[in-house]
Structures are given as C-alpha cells and as structure tokens.
Amino acid sequence: MKKVAACAMFAGITGLFSLQIQAQALPSELRPVVPAATLSGQAKMTFWGFEVYQATLWVAPGFAEAAYEQSPFALELFYLRDFKGADIAKRSIAEMRRQTTMTLTQETAWEDQMLALFPDVKTGDRITGVHQPATGAVFWSNGRVLGEVRDAAFAKHFFGIWLAPQTSEPQLRRALLAQTKAATATSFAP
C-alpha cells in the first residue's frame, strides 16, 4: 500500500483523485521569507481513495502563473500518509522529466540533492518549498530549515511539478492557482 501511495504522490490518473479546499494561514516560520504572501489555493489529493497530501500555495504580490519561476512563493505539502524521503526524491525527478529534457549529470545532481534534503515523512509532517527567483529553493520540514538547492533551473522544474502547464495533475494546479486566477480576472475586469 505504501508503494501505491508513494507512486501516487505526484502522479495521479485523471478522475481517480479528488481535491478539497480548506483555509490555512501562512506558517509563522515563512513570514520573514515571503512576508507579503497570500493564499493562492489549496487542494487535498487522494488517489484510489487514499489521502496523499494537502497542498497549499502562498504567492507574493505580482505572481503570474505563466511566469511562476519569476516570483517568490511557498508551496507546502502536509502529508496524510507516511513516505520515504528517497521515494519523494525519485518521484520528483520522474515528474520533472515531464517538463524538460535533463542531462544525466543534471538529473543525478538534482536527485542527489533531494535525497540529501528530504526526510522520511510521517502522517502529519509537512515539507515546504520556498521558491527564490533566479536563485533556487529552500526547503523546510515541520518549521525547520532542511537546506537549499541553489539552482534556478532545478527550482523552476521542481515547482513545475505542481505549477507548470505540463503537470500530471492539472486539476491540482487549477486549485492551487485559484485565487491567483480570480485576482487576475478581477484586476483586468472593465
């Protein structure tokens, strides 16, 4: 069952998962890092009836979904199942391949960095990635810094797992970007 859930962690099959929205505040440890961030959207991912994680996206003013890699933001995954950190890293690489062609050197380096950073998670744990434009990403686990990957290309494709148009989870993407789209629509309305 853990392997099925681990495989489902990032890759879903259309129609086999559901999304549910719940309100949440920006975690206090992230306020100094992305101080003006507001909630963009949330979604609970389930796969074949198994709850996998609750995803929450906070974005800085000026965030544009088509150029997400140019803005600071925070993406939190609140785990609803136990997972091995190694499985999270391997699945992340597989999902990143959907967006770009990586060299073997790049793929190996990125996977090694994630293997070093991502801990095994238990139900109730959270991992939060903070996107730093033109720099990379910083990762947090349950309120403490895990470390960073100083590579803007890595950050673009890692967060693209959820935010890129090529995501394997378009419904999840829509839910995470819900408030951003609403704000954009409102700001351009006649």
Which two tokens mark 185? 């629509």
Per residue in 14-68, pLDDT tens? 333 333 444 467 888 888 889 889 999 999 887 788 889 999 999 999 999 999 9
Which distant-in-sequence residues (6+ apart) come within 8 Å of 60 by Cβ? 34, 36, 37, 71, 72, 73
Per residue in 69-115, pLDDT tens? 999 999 999 999 999 999 999 999 999 999 899 999 999 999 999 99
Nearest Cα neighbor of 133 from 111, 117, 156 is 156
Task: State pTM to two decimals.
Answer: 0.82
| Whether CATH 3.50.70 fits 2-49+61-180 | yes
